[in-house]
Amino acid sequence: MKQEVEATNTPEAEPTLLTWQIPSHEHHSREFSFFVWIITAMVILLLFSIWQKNFLFGMFVILATGTLLFLSLQHPDTHEFSLTPSHIIFGNYQEEYSYDELSHFHIQEYATDDIEIFFAFKNKKRAPIHMRIYKGNKERIITILREKKLTQKEIEISLFESISKILGI
């Protein structure tokens, strides 16, 4: 796991203030009991759907269980992020966001080593974006963002984000 690459300059791009690579999420090794609970819940919900004669719900339960099992077995992808004097770059997606597009940021600490930074757009119709950061880079990132006139304010985290953190996917 590569933690930080300092200020790289390429002739084609503007200088980089900070670059880091980090897994998309913490990988949790699943114990056998996790799978037993998931399958047990699926069987109970399937029996309920049969009792209610609601076969569409039964199909949903099967698909949801399969998706949950598939996602829980996946290893996280490594993502690269960069802060430049004028942009935030999501390297894996080749997306750049100007600091002028952003309204404010919020840092959410889920665990000691699981920290995410959320960015809200000035355009309220756009959903906040987020990236994971290393604890050692946290203060440096905050300093860079404050220099770019971004304030630190609370951002409401979506229900999906909260559930995915709880399930570890």
The residues pairing with 95 across neighbouring beta strands, listed in sequence order, are: 90
pLDDT of res. 10 = 43
Answer yes or no: pTM beyond 0.75: no
Which residue type, as a one-letter code, is found at position 70?
A: F
Share of the chain above pLDDT 90, in %: 25
Which tokens hold the place of 126?
Answer: 């756009």
**Surface-to-core class of residue 114, CB atoms within 10 Å of its CB (0-12 exposed, 13-18 middle, 19+ buried):** middle
**Residue appearing with tokens 């699926």:** 42
Per-residue pLDDT of 85-131, as tens digits, reads 988 888 766 788 899 999 999 988 877 677 888 898 988 888 888 88
The span from the CA of 155 to the CA of 105, in Å, is 7
Beta strands in the chain (DSSP E): 5-6, 18-23, 78-83, 87-90, 95-98, 102-111, 114-121, 129-133, 151-152
| Tokens encoding 134 | 């290393």
Count helices and strands (H / E) in the chain: 4, 9
**In this structure, are residues 92 and 23 in contact, taking their beta carbons and an 8 Å threshold?**
no
| Predicted pLDDT at 1 | 47
d(CA 20, CA 138): 12
Q: CATH number of the domain at 5-26+75-167, out of 2.40.160.10, 2.60.40.10, 2.30.29.30, 1.10.3720.10? A: 2.30.29.30
Residue scoring higher pLDDT (14 or 37): 37
Q: What's the CA gap between 104 and 161, in Å, rounded?
A: 19
